[in-house]
Amino acid sequence: MVMKRREFLKGTAAVGLGSVAAGLMGKSALAAEGTLDIFFNSDTNVVEFWSSAIKPAFEAANPGTTLNLVSGGGGASMNALAERAFAALQSGTDPQIDMMEAIGPYHPEGAIEAGLWDDFSKLSLSNMSKVNPAVVDNQWSLPYRGSQVVMMYNGDKVPTPPKTFEELVAWIKANPGQFAYARPDLGDSGACFIERALQEVMGRDESLFTNENYSDEYAEPMFTKLWALLNDLAPSLYKGGEYTGGNTPSIQLLASGVITMTIAWSDMALVAMNEGVVPETTAVAQLQDLAFIGGYSSVLVPTNAANHEMSLKLADFLISPEVQNKVVSDLGGFPSINWSEMSPELQAKFANVATTSIPTFPGPWESHLFDGWYRNVASNLAQG
């Protein structure tokens, strides 16, 4: 790929320095004993949560162990890290990765078959029995926190938010230019919106979409209906069909008062409201007929991790009631273990949420869905 000159210079300089440093330091380039290198795909609020809630407790319980929390720098960089782990597995070297957060096990291709990721269904973690089976997407991903997509809106202009997807569509059309959602590949909030729309055109039947059943022939008629709905909606969106470049830009547009409603992650919306970056009248609401898709963020443990045993211990700690209670109280997330395992106060406080399940959407569908969206929905932009 062609890079910007400045980046190119920086890159080559880094490569040069890196190889020199590796040569000088020899062995120290390997992962340090007792240091777990954990890479995050989630935003900084999650990394902060780890460093304030998980790291101190785990390090205190396991003397000599240090958690090295590293922001992975987005999906493409996380994929590159997964490729590194896979390459290390094939060459039998140290991947210098002990755990990866919030990515799926499907990249790189062939990694699952080669046994790159630990299969949690075959391990006997002491807390595994507490995990709510409904939130387990696949046996390699260990879910540890959930969050959900919500409608985020200006309460001044919208006294009663839409309760169903149909009402939402009616509201968007009645208020042209006042609604925006993010491009599906740049912010999962936008992805969740079009996935919810897909469920809507298919009669809200979640069982139609599974990790295994994607094929072009099967999806084609569904996608055709979806494109029709989204294209019908486009002229009523912000700027007659423009899409924001991610979760934060969506909230930014709402904050500047250009739009009245957008789609956002519950935890990011709550943080924005707490920090006062959006007007005080901002509110969030959830659809009542079928909730917006949420997701569980999971961790993956590479089987070739240098501190493999300790990584599994940490994984077990993540799904302990101790951490799960903090996920709810400190992070504004949902627990991945059964509510009956949670603290009684939290159980009482979240009684309403506890009963609703969070719909999820299978990852293998997304690459086809997103590319189709670019080709069939985004390419019809009025301004060309």
Partner 1 sequence: MSDTLSTAPASAPLTKWRPTGLFFIAAPILLIAVFLFYPALRSIWGTIYVRQPDGSYAFSIASYLYFFSDSYSLTNLGRTFWTTIVTMVLLIAINLPIAIYLRFKGGRLAVFIQVLALFPMFVPGIVIVYALIRYLGPNGLLQTLLEVVGIGGFQSPYLTPWGPVIGMVWDAMPFTLLVLTAGMSGIATSAIEAAQDVGAGRLRILFSIILPQIKNSLLVVTSLNFLGLFGQAFMPFMLGPTSPEMMGPFMLRTFSTVRDPLQAATQATIVFALCSVAGLAYVRSIAKRRAAELVK
Residues that bind partner 1 (CB under 8 A): 1-6, 12, 15-16, 19, 75-76, 79, 107, 183, 185-186, 239, 242-245, 249, 252-253, 256-258, 366-367, 370-371, 374-375, 378-379, 381, 383-384
- As measured in angstroms, the least distance from the Cβ of 29 to partner 1 is 17
Residue closer to partner 1 by CB (options 264, 328) is 264
- Nearer to partner 1 by C-beta: 67 or 180? 180
Q: Closest CB to partner 1 among 62 and 79?
A: 79
- Give the shortest CB-62-to-partner 1 separation in angstroms: 35
Q: Indicate the residue among 163 and 239 with the shorter CB distance to partner 1.
A: 239
3-class SS letters over the chain: CCCCHHHHHHHHHHHHHHHHHHHHHHHHHCCCCCEEEEEECCCHHHHHHHHHHHHHHHHHHCCCCEEEEEECCCHHHHHHHHHHHHHHHHHCCCCCCCEEECCCCCCCCCHHHHCCECCCCCCCCCCHHHECHHHCCCCCCEEEEEEEEEEEEECCCCCCCCCCHHHHHHHHHHCCCCEECECCCCCHHHHHHHHHHHHHHCCCCHHHCCCCCCCHHHHHHHHHHHHHHHHHHHHHCHHHCCCECCHHHHHHHHHCCCCCEEEEEHHHHHHHHHHCCCCCCEEEECCCCCCCCEEEEEEECECCCCCHHHHHHHHHHHCCHHHHHHHHHHHCCECCECHHHCCHHHHHHCHHHHHCCCCCCCHHHHHHHHHHHHHHCHHHCCCC
What's the closest the beta carbon of residue 337 comes to partner 1, in angstroms? Answer: 31
Residue 287 Cβ vs partner 1, minimum distance, rounded to whole Å: 24
**Closest to partner 1 by CB, 88 or 142:** 88
> Quick one: 128 or 378, whose CB is closer to partner 1?
378
Q: What is the nearest approach in angstroms of partner 1 to the Cβ of residue 16?
A: 6
Task: Give me the least distance between CB of 156 and partner 1, in Å please.
Answer: 16
